[in-house]
Amino acid sequence: MKKRLVTFTMILMVLLMVLPSAFAKGATDDGGSKKMTVGFAQIKEDSPWRTTETNSVQQEAERLGIVLKLSVTDQAGQVAAIRDFITQKVDGILLAPQTRSGWDEVLQEAKNAGIPVVLLDRGVDAPESLWVTQISSDFAFEGREAAKWVAKKLDGKGKVVELFGDPAADPAILRNSGFMEVIDTYPGIEVVESKTGEWSQDKGRQVVEAWLAAGVDFDVVYAHNDGMALGAVEAMKSAGLTPGKDALIISIDAIKAAFEAIGRGDMNATVECSPLLGPLGFKSLIAATKGEPVDKYIITPDSLYDQDNYKNHPTMGF
């Protein structure tokens, strides 16, 4: 009898230790995320912007008590991760698609399994019926804003080199088309070179070094992200040039390092692109799992920051 009582007391003690944390995991103030499990298929990319986005998703999952399964890979790995999330029967999936194409099949599989997919920060060319919403910036707007700034600074005449992101990725395609839409209205402005820096500071530096070594003459570097622009700064400095003066440098993202470069005069401008998408991502997924309506496109607002107004940014960069 005494032995039984000891065993019972021990079981009770273990339960008392385990149960509060089990309840805490599901206890959220919005009531929709109880014990929710979400898979996040993130892109493996060498950029501070992407790290900030991952942190935003992780922090919001933690705040809401959601179990997050994080995968950081290239596109083939992202497809495999989504299949793995489906097998694990997650409640929802966040996907940052590396490129626009190649998603139809796996998104159809998620849909067949009844798992909602929210696109984070980039778009795809798969049918809209296969995903809940796209939460991102308006990339063509960003390109147009950059071009208007360039046209004004050049007074309608000059040479531009363009550091492209991944040419198959949604933001790179739209940042190019938005930029060209405005630049094409200025016959005196010519884009003399355009090449991918693969979103990376190191690759951006190498591309600009090669242009400089080949004697390419330019007045402006337009980079599809801040990382590549910072690479251009390095390349110009090692060639004995003064970035920000010998050529203007404008890019997109508004990371903290770009704000510091603008403060030093190494860079001239950056168009904001918010990576803080975790809260909107989970809000949309939770709504979708409850069958509530969600807007098909949720666009985060962006502004251009240059040497005149960069101090107005609420956090001096992301």
Q: Based on the shown chain and the rule CB under 6 A, indicate whether residue 225 belongs to the binding site for ligand AHR.
A: yes
Query: Which strand (E) or helix (H) includes residue 280?
Result: helix 278-289
Query: How big is the site for ligand AHR, counted in residues (CB under 6 A)?
Result: 13
Smallest separation, CB 43 to ligand AHR (Å) = 7
Q: Based on the shown chain and the rule CB under 6 A, indicate whether residue 134 belongs to the binding site for ligand AHR.
A: no
Nearer to ligand AHR, 274 or 289 (CB): 274
Q: Based on the shown chain and the rule CB under 6 A, indicate whether residue 121 belongs to the binding site for ligand AHR.
A: yes
Q: Based on the shown chain and the rule CB under 6 A, indicate whether residue 250 belongs to the binding site for ligand AHR.
A: no
Residues 7-36: x/- map of binding to ligand AHR (CB under 6 A)?
Answer: ------------------------------
Smallest separation, CB 140 to ligand AHR (Å) = 13
- Dihedral pair phi/psi, residue 263, rounded to 5°: -60, -35
Nearer to ligand AHR, 49 or 211 (CB): 49
Nearer to ligand AHR, 64 or 139 (CB): 139
Coil vs helix vs strand at 317: coil
DSSP-assigned states of every residue in 108-135? HHHHHTT--EEEESS--SS-GGG-SEEE
Restricted to residues 259-298, the positions that interact with ligand AHR (CB under 6 A) are: 273
| Structural tokens at position 12 | 């009770």
Nearer to ligand AHR, 244 or 275 (CB): 275
Place of tokens 């147009």: 144
Q: Apex CA 92: angle with CA 88 and CA 94, to 5°?
A: 110
Nearer to ligand AHR, 15 or 299 (CB): 299
Nearer to ligand AHR, 92 or 165 (CB): 165
Smallest separation, CB 281 to ligand AHR (Å) = 13
Q: Name, in order, each residue with C-beta under 8 angstroms of 159's C-beta and a sequence gap of 6 or more.
A: 189, 190, 192, 217, 218, 219, 220
Restricted to residues 41-60, the positions that interact with ligand AHR (CB under 6 A) are: 45, 47, 49-50
DSSP-assigned states of every residue in 65-82? T-EEEEEEE-HHHHHHHH
Q: Give every strand in the sheet of 158-164, ordered side by side.
A: 189-196, 158-164, 220-223, 248-253, 269-272, 304-306
124 CB neighbour count, 10 Å cutoff: 21
Q: Based on the shown chain and the rule CB under 6 A, indicate whether residue 252 belongs to the binding site for ligand AHR.
A: yes
Q: Apex CA 137: angle with CA 193 and CA 224, to 5°?
A: 15
Whole-number Å distance between alpha carbons of 190 and 247:
14
Which of residues 122, 203, 205, 283 is near ligand AHR by CB under 6 A?
122
Restricted to residues 68-107, the positions that interact with ligand AHR (CB under 6 A) are: none
Smallest separation, CB 77 to ligand AHR (Å) = 16
| Residues near ligand AHR, by CB under 6 A | 45, 47, 49-50, 121-122, 165, 171, 199, 225, 252-253, 273
